[in-house]
Amino acid sequence: MVLLNGAGDLVEEFLKELAATDGDDALLDLCRRCNLHGTPMVFAGDEGRYYHFRKRIAQKFDISFHEVFITGSAKLGFSPHKRKADVALISSALYERIMSFIHDYQMQLRENRKAVSSRELSDYHLFLEYGAIGWMRPDLLPTSFRGHDLKRDWFDFFDSISHGKSEVGNFKVTAGAFKSYSHLERYTVSGLRALKSSLQVGALNAAAN
């Protein structure tokens, strides 16, 4: 469990509240209130840094300031995974820009004009799977992807604002593009549902022992 300073009580409170949720409406409410709404914990007490961080990302991708969201440990103050600031770009325009590159690439595959390795093809199919639920993950684009400059530029930019090189501090900044806010909500709720299930399994195992 990765924690920000003084976040131990937050973890316990959040997990207790998650375990107590009853039904999809309660889970969606928890998602909105804790995972998406409000100022991320990493920017607590400093709205100015939060503003400038979102602004620089919005300008880079030519999207609205209000289409940039911060999730992950930087939002909650803790994470069961790595110390990351996950950026969700909620823009149908950006989503469609990426899809326009994918269209050409898919046509080349369809017409056997593009040779790809089995590993690349596996990653690409996973990319399409995420795309089907409204989330574009550039990290899964094949290295042979025709618009590889898009992929390289994406990672160069987020590397340039990671690990103490921007307002977010010593976090690795990663990002994905969502087609709409609704798609982000549904994806986040799915993650919470899986975490809740694991808590229930853990509780049953503890009781059995």
Q: What are the sequence ranges of the domains in the chain?
A: 2-208
What pLDDT was estimated at residue 83? 64
Look up the pTM and report it.
Answer: 0.83
Starting at the edge strand found earlier in the chain, the sheet holding 84-90 runs 68-71, 84-90, 172-178, 135-136
Residue in the block written with tokens 């609205």 = 64
Residue 162 token pair: 């990671």
User: What percentage of the chain reaches a pLDDT higher than 70?
Assistant: 86
- 135-178 pLDDT per residue, tens: 988 888 777 665 567 788 899 999 999 999 999 988 889 999 99
User: What confidence tens digit (pLDDT) does each residue in 18-70 have?
Assistant: 999 999 999 999 999 988 999 998 898 899 999 999 999 999 999 999 999 99
Does 49 or 121 have the greater pLDDT score? Answer: 49
pLDDT on residue 77 = 79
Residues recorded for the chain: 209
How do residues 69-98 score in pLDDT, each as one tens digit?
Answer: 998 878 887 765 456 788 999 999 999 888
Mean pLDDT comparison of 12-16, 95-99, 164-168, 201-205, highest-scoring range: 164-168
Residues contacting 205, CB < 8 A, separation 6+: none
Q: Is the pLDDT of residue 182 over 50?
A: yes
